């Protein structure tokens, strides 16, 4: 096969089909340009990006301030490794610690790496501070969890697609029903070091736990001397209308796992932020990453923090999300069983007898809106937080059309 110079869509898809591993099933659209909430395909067709790369594009495509921060840094210094200091890392750590109200920051790259780091920190803290017998630490996790794709992480997933076929699995994880604080209390034993939880489960379909769950979990962890590890890789940094999804219940985690939007949609940047008591258990040589804390990532991350600092982006986008959910619920589309929402993050649950969420995504794409299904029946929407009311209206009109036509 020859690949055309223009990268015409059919060629691009065919090349991926033939030579890429088939670990994704993308919608048949080939994007070549993006700005704000809009992306264009190779034929110049424009689409509203209602997925935002699973919230990695909370500030839209090529936000001018983020592009400027990256470009300036590209012109100075990109990578040092942690063998040397660089002039961005200290400021990034200080600013992220201040923004999150914590003591220390450990920078990594992908969300899964932040989760792995959180697991290592919790275990080490358990052995050194809590006195758990070596090799016996346990971490409680939730049904429906999605924390990434490493072998350790998929080992405690209850989604057969993520889990099956990749064993042997790492021991030391105990699964409890999501949203059930009593089940957490029962699962905690003398070797429990942490409770790893998504305050809103994104990949499971924007699942919001019952009111009071996070606060209950916080006090259970306090009583038992167990670390509350909030995976806010997807839910954090403004996506739910607040800085963190935990903020909705005024809950403070011991460790926050951050990723996605921290890289401004430009490069992968993740971090574990938390208390000195926990982060100080790591000593030189015990953990690290060649790219973690690189100056380019830190420069972009610092601008991300500045964009979020006064809370207005989160609050305003949250209000847009509230209005969008109210509008969708009021429409009472026969195909829609439920609309779940927190901030500008919506899970539209379709009835099983309706067309699948994948089919709904395809119809949306035909009308110029890119969204993604999850688990057959959920259409998930997470537009950039920078969307204007008019732009969102444009997308919601098309969504209304598609939902109305499903049944």
Ligand X SMILES: Cc1ncc(COP(=O)(O)O)c(C=O)c1O
60 makes contact with ligand X (CB under 6 A): no
Closest to ligand X by CB, 120 or 185 = 120
Tell me the closest approach of the beta carbon of residue 207 to ligand X, in angstroms: 11
Contact residue for ligand X among 112, 154, 221, 369 (CB under 6 A): 112
157 makes contact with ligand X (CB under 6 A): no
Tell me the closest approach of the beta carbon of residue 116 to ligand X, in angstroms: 9
203 makes contact with ligand X (CB under 6 A): yes
**Tokens found for residue 265:** 């949609």
Considering Cα of 102, then 107, then 110, then 114, what sign does the dihedral take?
negative
Asked about 390 being catalytic, the answer comes back as: no
Neighbours of 335 (CB within 10 A): 18
Task: Give the nearest residue (CB) to ligand X.
Answer: 111
- Active-site pick, 260, 291, 372, 373: 260
Asked about 260 being catalytic, the answer comes back as: yes
Contact residue for ligand X among 73, 100, 234, 374 (CB under 6 A): 234
- Whether 202 contacts 53, CB under 8 Å: no
Q: Distance (Å, rounded) from C-alpha 37 to C-alpha 52?
A: 8
Closest to ligand X by CB, 361 or 374 = 374
> With CB under 6 A as the contact rule, which of the stretches 70-78, 90-98, 141-149, 162-170 interacts with ligand X?
141-149
Neighbours of 394 (CB within 10 A): 16
Tell me the closest approach of the beta carbon of residue 324 to ligand X, in angstroms: 21
- Active-site pick, 49, 180, 231, 254: 231
- Whether 343 contacts 243, CB under 8 Å: no
Closest to ligand X by CB, 144 or 295 = 144
Contact residue for ligand X among 41, 180, 198, 303 (CB under 6 A): 198
Residue 182 sits at the vertex; the CA angle it makes with 179 and 184, to the nearest 5 degrees, is: 75
Contact residue for ligand X among 36, 60, 107, 111 (CB under 6 A): 111
Tell me the closest approach of the beta carbon of residue 235 to ligand X, in angstroms: 7
Give every CB contact of residue 403 below 8 A, 6+ residues apart in sequence.
Answer: 328, 331, 333, 335, 336, 348, 360
Q: How many residues bind ligand X (CB under 6 A)?
A: 15
> With CB under 6 A as the contact rule, which of the stretches 16-24, 145-153, 177-185, 360-368 interacts with ligand X?
145-153
138 makes contact with ligand X (CB under 6 A): no
391 makes contact with ligand X (CB under 6 A): no
Nearest C-alpha neighbor of 114 from the set 203, 233, 200, 285: 233
Please identify which residue in the block is written with the tokens 């983020």: 66
Asked about 291 being catalytic, the answer comes back as: no
Q: Distance (Å, rounded) from C-alpha 385 to C-alpha 240?
A: 10
> With CB under 6 A as the contact rule, which of the stretches 28-36, 140-148, 159-167, 183-191 interacts with ligand X?
140-148
DSSP secondary structure letters along 276-303: HHHHTT--TTSS--SSTT-HHHHHHHHH
Contact residue for ligand X among 48, 59, 125, 146 (CB under 6 A): 146
54 makes contact with ligand X (CB under 6 A): yes
DSSP secondary structure letters along 333-398: -TTEEEEEESSS-EEEEEPTTSPPHHHHHHHHHHTTEE-EEETTTEEEE---TT--HHHHHHHHHH
Beta bridge partners of 104: 274
Q: Which residues participate in catalysis according to the annotation? A: 146, 231, 260
Q: What are the residues binding ligand X (CB under 6 A)?
A: 54, 110-112, 115, 146-148, 198, 202-203, 231, 233-234, 259
């Amino acid at each position: 096969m020859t690949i055309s110079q223009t990268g015409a869509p059919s060629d691009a898809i065919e090349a991926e089909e033939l030579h890429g591993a088939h670990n994704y099933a993308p919608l048949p659209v080939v994007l070549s340009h993006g700005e704000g909430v809009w992306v264009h395909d190779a034929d110049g067709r424009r689409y509203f990006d209602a997925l935002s790369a699973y919230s990695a594009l909370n500030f839209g495509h090529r936000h001018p301030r983020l592009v400027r921060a990256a470009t300036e840094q590209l012109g100075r210094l990109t990578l040092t490794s942690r063998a040397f200091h660089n002039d961005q890392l200290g400021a990034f750590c200080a600013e992220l610690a201040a923004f999150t109200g914590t003591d220390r920051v450990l920078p990594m790259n992908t969300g899964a790496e932040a989760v792995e780091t959180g697991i290592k920190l919790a275990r080490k803290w358990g052995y050194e501070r809590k006195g758990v017998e070596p090799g016996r630490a346990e971490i409680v996790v939730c049904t429906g969890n999605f924390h990434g794709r490493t072998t350790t992480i998929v080992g405690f997933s209850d989604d057969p697609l993520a889990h099956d076929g990749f064993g042997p699995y790492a021991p030391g994880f105990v699964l409890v029903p999501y949203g059930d604080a009593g089940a957490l209390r029962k699962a905690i034993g003398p070797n429990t070091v942490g409770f790893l939880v998504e305050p809103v489960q994104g990949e499971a379909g924007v699942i919001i736990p019952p009111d009071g769950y996070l606060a209950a979990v916080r006090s259970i962890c306090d009583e038992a001397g167990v670390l509350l590890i909030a995976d806010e890789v997807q839910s954090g940094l403004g996506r739910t209308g607040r800085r963190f999804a935990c903020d909705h219940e005024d809950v403070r985690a011991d460790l926050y796992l951050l990723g996605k939007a921290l890289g401004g949609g430009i490069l992968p940047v993740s971090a574990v932020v938390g208390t000195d008591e926990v982060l100080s258990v790591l000593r030189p040589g015990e953990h690290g990453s060649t790219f973690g804390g690189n100056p380019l990532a830190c420069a972009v991350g610092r601008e991300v923090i500045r964009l979020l600092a006064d809370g207005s982006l989160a609050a305003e986008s949250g209000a847009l999300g509230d209005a969008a959910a109210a509008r969708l619920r009021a429409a009472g589309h026969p195909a829609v069983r439920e609309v779940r929402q927190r901030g500008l993050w919506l899970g539209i649950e379709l009835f099983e007898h309706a067309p699948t969420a994948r089919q709904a995504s395809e119809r949306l794409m035909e009308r110029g809106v890119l969204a993604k299904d999850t688990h057959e029946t959920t259409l998930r929407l997470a537009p950039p937080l920078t969307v204007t009311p008019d732009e969102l209206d444009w997308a919601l009109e098309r969504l209304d059309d598609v939902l109305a036509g499903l049944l």
